Amino acid sequence: MESSRRKLIERLKTKEAVVGIVGLGYVGLPLMLRYNDIGFRVLGIDIDQEKVDKLNAGNSYIEHIPSDKVAKATQTGFEATTDFSRVAEVDAVILCVPTPLNKYREPDMSFVVNTTDAIKPHLREGQVVSLESTTYPGTTEEELLPRVQEGGLVVGENLFLIYSPEREDPGNPTFETRTIPKVVGGHTPACLEVGVALYEQAIDQMVPLSSTKAAEMTKLLENIHRAVNIGLVNEMKIVADRMGIDIFEVVDAAATKPFGFTPYYPGPGLGGHCIPIDPFYLTWKAREYGLHTRFIELSGEVNRGMPEYVVGKLMDGLNQHGKALKGSKVLVLGIAYKKNVDDMRESPSVEIMELIQAKGAKIAYSDPHVPVFPKMREHHFNLSSVAFTAESLAQFDAVVLATDHDRFDYELIKAHARLIVDSRGVYREAVDHIIKA
């Protein structure tokens, strides 16, 4: 045990260790670039051959990650592959795979389980396995631990198992992988020591925890905190609107209090791979303990209802202009889940588009970050982004401002759109053709 642990920690500290990252998406790719940048050899593994070919050619497929950074990485030792047997070559295996919900809003652990099954025949003595995917407390112990020990390796002695949740905020220029503190939980104290040695090379601040379960729960609390507070302010928006009060003015005013208040802003619903999904991991696991997570479920209910609220405001606005939604031409502005990114996962804009189309309107979208509507597991639109001009805006009966990208010209929209449904609080002044949603 001692020699395996000591050798691995020494290899990590001297950067002789090879880092393997499984899953080269919004989490895995920035992590790869960081390890490559500080002098580690990185092997990337992904099941998507097209993605692997792009990366090996030095091309990025994520808008906020420049291709020149990927090209530099490939020139300095980074390689991508679909061959899981090459896990044997690496010292650290970091799993960055999706953890979506199924149609019953229960955790879909297939990516984590299938990936663990794919790597387990190739694990060897003196490796560390780290799960970064957001999941319910107990996943590392219940799903990974028995699988990685099937070949006779013993976790804590000659194989080390940790959970260290990803913390990414694409589009936020204030933070990067290096500057976001890293939570690490180990299955044993020896595992934790190895986990800290793995991540302290790349991340400025370590936050070591007593167990993998505590680390898993930490990630869920972070995202539940956001989901509940966004649910609260979305509910407040509906109440304020009925009372003729601008909720954005109220939030800005409350935010001047220097203690005890954190501003959260309402919107058309929740998006991204974390906030709409992760709280339900705890809801699902809590049932095993006979517990009912009412705050989480109530905020989920409020947030899931926001796209319908926006469409209701659109219908109200069209009615005021003597039009029905059926047969109207509607342009949705911004279909990424948050401003200034190209990430479409769980975007409320897509649900808004589906609701509008289902009511008989002709739908189109404009998004400078998403030129063609991507292939998605559950949503299908054969559309490309409409050119953003005065002429194109004027062709539509209404535009729904769903994602407030900085690249939109908001004065142009105000001047040429016939009706604007603003779900992001961009327009604060009262104007006849602007509906606050």
Active-site residue set: 274
Q: Which DSSP state fits 386?
A: P
> How many Å apart are CA 21 and CA 45, to the nearest integer?
6
Phi and psi at residue 337, in whole multiples of 5°? Answer: -75, -20
Whole-number Cα distances in Å, 2 to 6, 9, 91, 156: 6, 11, 16, 10
Task: Copy the structure tokens of residue 221.
Answer: 């609390």
| Pick from 342, 30, 337: nearest CA to 179 | 30
Q: Which DSSP state fits 260?
A: S
Query: 330 pairs with which residues across the strands?
Result: 363, 398
For the chain, what is the largest distance between any 2 Cα atoms, rounded to a whole number of angstroms? 78
Q: Tell me, what amino acid is at 84?
A: F
| Pick from 23, 149, 178: nearest CA to 93 | 23
Q: What angle do CA 361, 365, 371 make, to 5 degrees?
A: 150
Contact between 311 and 352 (Cβ < 8 Å):
yes
Query: 80 pairs with which residues across the strands?
Result: 44
* Length of the chain, in residues: 437
- For 264-422, list the strands marked E by DSSP: 329-333, 362-366, 398-401, 420-422
SS3 136: coil
> How many Å apart are CA 115 and CA 61, to the nearest integer?
22
Task: Copy the structure tokens of residue 35.
Answer: 């390890």
> How many Å apart are CA 432 and CA 366, to the nearest integer?
23
Q: What is the DSSP string of 382-419?
A: --BPPP-SHHHHHTSSEEEE-S--TTS-HHHHHHH-S-
Q: Tell me, what amino acid is at 176?
A: E
Phi and psi at residue 94, in whole multiples of 5°? Answer: -105, 120
